[in-house]
Chains A and B, each alone.
Chain A
Amino acid sequence: GQNIDQPTEMTATEGAIVQINCTYQTSGFNGLFWYQQHAGEAPTFLSYNVLDGLEEKGRFSSFLSRSKGYSYLLLKELQMKDSASYLCAGVYDYKLSFGAGTTVTVRA
């Protein structure tokens, strides 16, 4: 819903950096969440961007450009445990609309 698009899969090496891009419909948009979800488990909250700019939280950073309808999640110093699905979710009319998720595979 809400035309939230993100790549299906990404692969990177342990210790590297990966950037997951997300584009979304700007009409009715109120904010953007990133969640991490390991297979068979619940999504866990990573970040929330309402204003333009970069939010840094340890190895993870998230960026938002409201005018461009664009966000990214940056994962630094990748670890094997970062292998998971990363969900971009926009807030529209008090509801979360999720993208299909990006499966990140970290290789040794």
Chain B
Amino acid sequence: DTEVTQTPKHLVMGMTNKKSLKCEQHMGHRAMYWYKQKAKKPPELMFVYSYEKLSINESVPSRFSPECPNSSLLNLHLHALQPEDSALYLCASSQGEMDTQYFGPGTRLTVL
């Protein structure tokens, strides 16, 4: 089983809203990732968690706030987003940081 789940599948929010994206995996993976992908572009790494600790933050604006409550869950809290933040947000997980990453189906986010 190489399944990573993400909710919601679609999200529309205003610039003053606060929302959260959720990601879950039950493969016992110890590394989890958030990526942002714009149309016709490759995924861009945002955050990496390793053993539930933030190990990489790719200079992401503070309006994106990641959280790893336990080894199976990864959240991305959103606040005061801009229209240019509209994108597909992908979660991935891997056994370790150098191992194959398995992606979830993504959350399609639209900021109005």
Q: Known contacts A31-B98, A33-B100, A94-B97; is A100 also within 8 Å of B41 by CB?
A: yes
- A12-20, A39-47, A61-69: which one contacts chain B? A39-47
Q: Closest residue of chain B to A99, judged by CB?
A: B42
A48 at the interface (CB under 8 A from B): yes
CB-based contact B104/A95 at 8 Å: no
The SS class assigned to the B binding surface is: loop
CB-based contact B42/A45 at 8 Å: no
B90 at the interface (CB under 8 A from A): yes
Q: Known contacts A91-B98, A94-B97, A95-B56; is A41 also within 8 Å of B105 by CB?
A: yes
CB-based contact B101/A45 at 8 Å: yes
Please name the 7 residue pairs, one residue from A and one from B, whose CB atoms are nearest each other, closest first: A98-B42, A42-B103, A94-B97, A42-B105, A43-B103, A42-B106, A45-B100
